[in-house]
Amino acid sequence: MRAMVVRRYGPPEVFEYSEVPDPQPAAGQVLVRVRAVGVNFADLLQRMGIYPGTPKPPFIPGFEVAGIVEQVSSSTQPAAPDLAPGARVVALAMFSAYAERVAVPAHLVFRLPDDVPFAEAAAIPVNYLTAYHSMFQMGNLQPGDRILIHGAAGGVGIAVVQLARARQLEIFGTAGSSKQDFLRQIGVDHPMDYTREDFQQAVRRIAPDGIEMVMDPIGGKSFAKSCDCLGPTGRLVVYGFSAAAGPEGKRSLWRGVKALAQTPRFHPLVLMRRNISVIGVNLGRMKGREALLRRQLEEIFRMYAAGQVKPVIGKTLPLEQAAEAHRYIHARQNIGKVVLTVV
């Protein structure tokens, strides 16, 4: 099969479109013929070698795919009768998604409703599960609560906005100057241009007593400013660290060290005094909680069918143009999700 292989850590140019052996499903695994791959910022960090748990090169990056079941190991079939060959599925494929085929543990493979196209399906698992799990499982947000979304025009950001609208939350969102009209179109109540105004001051001007949640994938000093937006019972959700990656797509020890040095230390007594929480979310650390993810994804597909959520696909490229997809995201050009297609 063909796959995009990272031969060494580095900028997007390190990708090689190579012939590699087909994966063989081990016990408990399902072989999926990939039709679409969702590109996440975490993939960029994997390629640069700064994402936790990234394998040593050579490796195939990527977390999520949509496709068709080709083979199910004999030990898997009795426990997963709905995953027979020919079934349309989405899957969370750790570090192996940028390929024509991928072997995935059965508990991370989910049936795909017939009315969901593969490209949209590949844009759902990481973004919408991150959003849903953060907001309603860990965050317990209620109608009328207020949420600030950093990168509100990105894949996770749009998922949060759509879920927030469905649950009647008041929405604050940051993005660059060129994306402000888009934020208004998708229903952000308080769009903020982070290049022209201080989001912390803007939030406090509108909500002097603070808000209930901030979704922050940036890191560094942004965590401290986000925390200062919270009022009593507020929750800061940490689900990324993009401050460590520059627009050029190269690994920078200086940038990473600087971002770490600017990251606040959340002392437990301070959290108690302020009556706030800091929540870390990582879908790759859900071992033993797969049934919870399945229930959440089923609810997301129900909301899709009801017209409450729908991925925004900002750019679609063939698998062999993964480097171009990464450059596009590094440049902060994307509105919505970037998807790679596999013929």
Specify the pLDDT at position 332: 83
Q: What is the DSSP string of 228-287?
A: TTEEEEEEEEE---GGGS-TT----HHHHHHHHHHSPP--HHHHHHHT-EEEE--GGG-T
Question: What does pLDDT average to over the chain?
Answer: 94
Q: Which fold has domain 2-124+311-341?
A: Quinone Oxidoreductase; Chain A, domain 1 (3.90.180)
Is 80 exceeded by the pLDDT of residue 135?
yes
SS3 assignment, position 111: strand
SS3 assignment, position 200: helix
The CA distance from 101 to 21, in Å, is 10
pLDDT digits 0-9 by tens, 115-128:
999 999 999 999 99
Mean pLDDT for 130-146 is 98
* Contacts of 207 by beta carbon, 8 Å cutoff, 6+ apart: 146, 231
Specify the pLDDT at position 77: 60
CB atoms within 10 A of CB 287: 7
Give the pLDDT band (50/70/90) at residue 109.
very high
**Residue pair 64/147 in contact by the 8 Å Cβ criterion:** no
Q: Cα separations (Å) of 122 from 9, 67, 244, 266?
A: 25, 9, 26, 35
Beta strand pairing call for 170-175 and 146-149: parallel
- Going by C-alpha positions, the residue among 283, 282, 285, 342 that lies closest to residue 316 is 342
Is 60 exceeded by the pLDDT of residue 262?
yes
**Residue pair 227/210 in contact by the 8 Å Cβ criterion:** no
The CA distance from 211 to 231, in Å, is 5
What percent of the chain shows pLDDT beyond 90? 85
Mean pLDDT for 40-53 is 92
Listed range (42-51, 63-72, 80-89) with the worst mean pLDDT: 80-89
Is 70 exceeded by the pLDDT of residue 285?
yes
Ranges of each domain in the chain: 2-124+311-341, 130-283
Specify the pLDDT at position 333: 80
Specify the pLDDT at position 43: 96
Specify the pLDDT at position 249: 65
Give the pLDDT band (50/70/90) at residue 340.
very high
Both tokens of 57, joined, read 């090169």
Phi and psi of 10, rounded to 5°? 160, -160
The CA distance from 291 to 308, in Å, is 23
Is 80 exceeded by the pLDDT of residue 337?
yes
Q: Strands, DSSP E only, in 77-217? A: 88-92, 101-105, 109-111, 146-149, 170-175, 190-193, 211-216
Specify the pLDDT at position 244: 78
Phi and psi of 335, rounded to 5°? -110, 115
SS3 assignment, position 214: strand
Give the pLDDT band (50/70/90) at residue 248.
low
CB atoms within 10 A of CB 239: 18
Mean pLDDT for 316-326 is 97
Specify the pLDDT at position 257: 85
Give the pLDDT band (50/70/90) at residue 251.
low
* 130-283: CATH architecture: 3-Layer(aba) Sandwich (3.40)
Specify the pLDDT at position 243: 84
pLDDT digits 0-9 by tens, 165-190:
999 999 999 999 999 999 999 999 99
Is 60 exceeded by the pLDDT of residue 78?
no
**Residue pair 276/227 in contact by the 8 Å Cβ criterion:** yes
* Contacts of 331 by beta carbon, 8 Å cutoff, 6+ apart: 247
Helix, strand, coil abundance in the chain, percent, nearest 5: 35, 25, 35
Q: What is the DSSP string of 283-314?
A: GGG-TT-HHHHHHHHHHHHHHHHTTS----EE
